[in-house]
Structure 1
């Protein structure tokens, strides 16, 4: 029995760790496909079409009896979700990655928990008390995480050949502007920051949507479908060359299939379940693991260099991140009957004594009535609220 309980407790953590391995593979594969000429607008469309085609049958069969009625409010939220992550986040991320590197892009996404935390406060999904230690840890962690991202963006430093792979600086010759590499890195950093904000907003809105549309598979299929439609409109406006839509059997088709199945279909579904159980801050709290995996793989596969500035910035981000995680973990173990803002109320039925309308008689004593006037005991439906102190 104990092992079963431990397994259930470990499931959310195992799921989120596996997702980070999935994301790490995506960072590498996407970078290879972009370097080989894959158009990022087209990649977004293909990625979400594949995800929708894969997820939709499962959503239809497994949730057909529990799927709530589609309303205009829910549909508008789905449209917003399809725009935030499949279109805005993915396109900004792909362009930012082309201007920087796979490891840098993965590192920048470590600010996701901090950005999500700020948005959760704005939309009242997180409560802050300045005098509370947990709240102080969240605030300090958010500040430190953002500071680490700024260090990574502003300070490069000498190259570190940590894994003895002879990594070389990544620079995409197709980057627009033709300026110095530092300019491209600054532009890429800003785009990655915007991408992070879009992704964090997606988590917050997805968590809110699941409250009124609590079918994770169906919501995933709808998001991917709307992402493909909206992304297709953007691609047709931005890309006029018909050749850009041609995909050969190389890293580009692998990128579309892998990112569609793993990083859109499976990820949206698993994240939806975790959002319902733990909230958006928990879902975004495992990104440092992805950074480590990508840093190792990109050094071997892409021959990217790791600089001192990125290492220092990543360490600062991780420190701030785990301050946030500590605050959230303490929130999670608080008893639901003893919350911060209000103590839990226990509602019990009332045992009320009612007086008999008739004067006392000897029959009252014979029937069990008290000597004080034949009192009867009646259980009423009126609740009594016992507030714990």
Structure 2
């Protein structure tokens, strides 16, 4: 083989890191959504209606692409797949997002994004239960997944439970104002934390069920559009029950519209599709292992935009979370390399044994054909004697 050109080397390098780039980009997208959503909620928007509008936008954006690009490869929508899509539409668009928005209102954008760091651990445990992941502590790369998950959870617990002194990087004039809001927020801290953990469980269940559904319905764009449609239908039903004031559905050219449009396009439409592609190739644990990066980005943006304070515990927790994240990613990458080597070895072994298997099959077929001509076997040899 000849030497590769610089363009070919660049394409090969991008192909190797495309999953990492996609997931890191999504975390920045989620961080922006947390800040914009927090602003809209503070301006009085209902989180139930925000979830509905978010998926209306996502449906309008994704559905045309799904209809055109996957019209030839879209599988038949069976009853079992439709029921799975209904559950998916309830788990993430309705249950996860409403619990998360409620928890965010009771706490803060930084705290809520920090609590979602439990997502990789919950997803990892669910994946173990459904045999989507395996752990062999005799192998370092396999044990690294479990160790990295424990480190990530430890960092999240430190960030959640330990505050420490305030580290004022940018502003000091917002401390007095934010202190009063923290005092009132601490009254609902437990309720908000439980709601955020509940949203993590729903989100993890969404990833697990999505990985199973993609095996029977391998059309990521179409699946994304159908999930968004079911999210609109189920979310609207919940909103009509919880929000009796029809005036709450009014929306103008303000932070409410921005929150619905941004979260719908980036965090529902694009995110569902990208996560589906990466889940099918790398698994749900790989996808959720990048969520701690979102917390760090949200903390920085929260300090700049919302004047939220950053404590020493948040910095220590962030260091542990990043350490755990890279430990999990390292274990997953080594596992993928080893599995690729094993697959190549099996393929080579199979090509060597194939001619032997074919020849034996042909010999067996010839014997069966000769016996069928001679008639049924009565237990005696039917071969005529030589004359």
Partners of 2:356 and 2:91 lie apart in 1 by 55
Matched, 1:183 2:190: no
1:215 corresponding residue in structure 2:
219
Cα distance 1:193–1:351, how it changes in 2: closer, same or farther (>3 A)? closer
Q: 1:111 aligns with which of 107, 118, 127?
A: 118
Asked if the contact 1:100/1:171 (under 8 Å) is kept, the reply is no
Matched, 1:60 2:64: no
1:255 corresponding residue in structure 2:
259
Asked if the contact 2:117/2:153 (under 8 Å) is kept, the reply is no
Asked if the contact 1:141/1:320 (under 8 Å) is kept, the reply is yes
Q: Deviations over 1:151-182 (max 9, x none)?
A: 23322222221233644475897x9xxx9532
Moved more, 197-206 or 322-331: 322-331
Q: Which has the higher helix share?
A: 2
Q: Deviations over 1:49-97 (max 9, x none)?
A: 1111211111111111111101111011101110111011100110111
Partners of 1:89 and 1:304 lie apart in 2 by 24
TM-score by length of 1: 0.84
Q: What SS does structure 1 have at the residue aligned with 2:349?
A: strand
Asked if the contact 1:145/1:318 (under 8 Å) is kept, the reply is yes
Q: 1:346 aligns with which of 342, 346, 349?
A: 349
**5 Å matches for 1:254-333?**
254-333=258-337
Flag as ranges the 4+ runs of structure 1 deviating above 6 A: 342-345
Asked if the contact 2:142/2:335 (under 8 Å) is kept, the reply is no
Cα distance 1:351–1:85, how it changes in 2: closer, same or farther (>3 A)? closer
Asked if the contact 1:350/1:381 (under 8 Å) is kept, the reply is no
Q: What SS does structure 2 have at the residue aligned with 1:163?
A: coil
Partners of 2:268 and 2:341 lie apart in 1 by 37
Partners of 2:179 and 2:104 lie apart in 1 by 10
TM-score by length of 2: 0.85
* Paired residues, number: 352
2:32 corresponding residue in structure 1:
25
1:372 corresponding residue in structure 2:
none
Matched, 1:147 2:154: yes
Q: Deviations over 1:294-349 (max 9, x none)?
A: 2221111111111222222232222223222222121111143527xx97782222
Q: Any unmatched runs of 5+ in structure 1?
A: 353-377, 384-389
Q: 1:69 aligns with which of 51, 62, 76?
A: 76
Q: CA deviation at 1:39?
A: 0.3
Partners of 1:79 and 1:238 lie apart in 2 by 20
Q: Any unmatched runs of 5+ in structure 2?
A: 1-7, 364-387
Cα distance 1:75–1:37, how it changes in 2: closer, same or farther (>3 A)? same
Q: Deviations over 1:223-263 (max 9, x none)?
A: 00001111111111111111211112100010001111111
1:370 corresponding residue in structure 2:
none
Partners of 1:165 and 1:56 lie apart in 2 by 47
